Structure 1
Amino acid sequence: MSTIAIVGAGPQLGRAIAHRFAREGFDVALIARSRTTLEKMVVELTETGVRAAAFPADVTDRPGLRDALAAAEDHFGTIDVLEYSPGPSPADFAARPIVEASQLTVESIVAEMEMYVYGGVTAVGQVLPGMLRRGRGTILATTGAGSGPMIVPEVANVQVATAGLRNFILNLHASVAERGVYAAHVALGAFIGQGSPKSEPDVIADAYWRLHQERSESELFYLDLPDDYVFEGVSPQFLSEGE
């Protein structure tokens, strides 16, 4: 039996990815800060016959995150797929635009670097040795599309950090692909559950399963934004072709 560990498992995309992989016979390890949210998802999964368990942890607590992933490995035997998609709660989020150079400071990116870069490196570092020993495994990391293909100065501090996670995953893919481990970054430009059918969590989750199965792309640009959504840097046509 294979196991997927979802770090940053929330009630929309994380839940949908859990159910999508569970339908393919995967056990599910759920990791996030909210024990209550995780336990609800565990109950929902186990009622359908899926082996699932919750391992509460904050991705900014690196020892705690390592312990949670180690506990998941002990519980299920292996972690065969890691999906890393942390996201700040509204209370955590503090946008820092670049209007003047002084508005983006070291202090304004510390929390985002902890969440995306340090947390991502920590999570991968916990599961990668086992994957390399077994000669197989999948690592998927999700950020907003502002990590690279889209430019949104209003949240520049977040983009500095998500771009770091993106670069790490792309370098990881280049380093381990020939050793049986597949790594890919998902740049997600969609209002999850608030737009067209393509923005529904279950539909997006299908793309994650396809990445795991096909193992051919190091990056997926998943774009589904309204026609009147304005951003600079890249045309919507280019992004659609990259999917």
Structure 2
Amino acid sequence: MSVIAIVGAGSLMGRAIARRFAAGGFDVALIARDPDALKAVADDIQGVRVGIFPADITDRQALSRALARAETELGPIEVLEFSPTPRRADLAVSPFTGAAETTVETLAPHVELHLYGSVAAVQQVLPGMIERGRGTVLLTAGAVSSRMVVPAITNVSIAVSALRAYALNLNAGLAGTGVHAAHVSIAANIGQGRPGSEPDVIAEEYWKLHVDRDQADFYYEDLADAPVVISDRYTSD
């Protein structure tokens, strides 16, 4: 059976993506820091094998070990979805900064999370995907990674823009290998009650990206949504 690994699996998009791929016959590996939160997500997924593999995404060795364990216990990872969100406690230590206030020091933690974390995750599973001749890599960020400019969160914007560049170059570089990579940028107030912003609706687009393999730079926008609340986009409790 195929396996999806969701890195940064949370209660909104992580849960919804897991359920959608489980409905398509995928076993599910959930990776994030909090084992109790992972168990709550896992308990909501039925009909397939679900494994929880706690790891801090900014600890690259721990992340690699978690993905390796997932493959040992569940099988080869066919789909890697990467969508970390810092918790409010993290932002107390590494807060958002405006353009003029952004320094190497304020940028570094967000690059560590979004860019270095994604590269570490991809490098753990990519050799196997290439060897098998199939695989999908889906790297997720908010709208500031592509079309939206929000100077108040410049440090995050730089980090997730680098994530997007990595995804696009990865997809181009993997042409002919059977592995498809895509960047997903979400412009929506996820889970705030509007139909187009519900996690299950957005998760369907992830399934299409995996099945159709025809887009490398996907921008999801709920046109009926209220103005996007950036602080809610990039934090989780």
> What is the aligned counterpart of 1:184 among 176, 182, 185?
182
> In the superposition, relative to structure 1, how do residues 130 and 230 fare at CA in structure 2: closer, same or farther (>3 Å)?
closer
1:105 aligns with 2:103: yes
Aligned to 2:235: none
User: What are the residue-to-residue correspondences of 1:59-78 with 2, within 5 Å?
Assistant: 59-78=57-76
1:21-75 Cα shifts (integer Å, max 9, x gaps): 0001000000001100111222222xx2221010000100000000000000111
Does the 8 A contact of 1:177 with 1:183 survive in 2?
no
For the residues of structure 1 that align with 2:121 and 2:137, how far apart are their CA atoms? 10
Matched AA of 1:125: Q
1:158-205 Cα shifts (integer Å, max 9, x gaps): 011001111001000001131100000001111101142010000000
Aligned to 2:206: 208
For the residues of structure 2 that align with 1:92 and 1:78, how far apart are their CA atoms? 32
1:38 aligns with 2:38: yes
1:114-140 Cα shifts (integer Å, max 9, x gaps): 100100000000000000000000000
For the residues of structure 1 that align with 2:209 and 2:193, how far apart are their CA atoms? 23
Matched AA of 1:97: G
Aligned to 1:235: none
1:19 aligns with 2:4: no
For the residues of structure 2 that align with 1:132 and 1:115, how far apart are their CA atoms? 25
User: What are the residue-to-residue correspondences of 1:82-161 with 2, within 5 Å?
Assistant: 82-93=80-91, 94-98=95-99, 100=100, 103-161=101-159
For the residues of structure 1 that align with 2:113 and 2:22, how far apart are their CA atoms? 27
Q: Cα offset for 1:209? A: 0.3
For the residues of structure 1 that align with 2:96 and 2:21, how far apart are their CA atoms? 33
Matched AA of 2:28: V
Aligned to 1:7: 7
Does the 8 A contact of 2:18 with 2:28 survive in 1?
yes
For the residues of structure 2 that align with 1:206 and 1:69, how far apart are their CA atoms? 24
For the residues of structure 2 that align with 1:120 and 1:209, how far apart are their CA atoms? 20
For the residues of structure 2 that align with 1:228 and 1:87, how far apart are their CA atoms? 21
Q: Gaps spanning 5+ residues in structure 2: where?
A: 230-237
Secondary structure of residue in 1 paired with 2:97: coil
RMSD (CA atoms): 1.5
For the residues of structure 1 that align with 2:168 and 2:69, how far apart are their CA atoms? 27
Normalised to the residue count of structure 1, the TM-score between the two structures is: 0.90
Q: Gaps spanning 5+ residues in structure 1: where?
A: 232-243
> In the superposition, relative to structure 1, how do residues 105 and 41 fare at CA in structure 2: closer, same or farther (>3 Å)?
same
For the residues of structure 2 that align with 1:49 and 1:146, how far apart are their CA atoms? 36
% identical aligned pairs: 53
Matched AA of 1:111: P
The number of residue pairs the alignment matches comes to 226
Secondary structure of residue in 2 paired with 1:179: coil
Aligned to 2:232: none
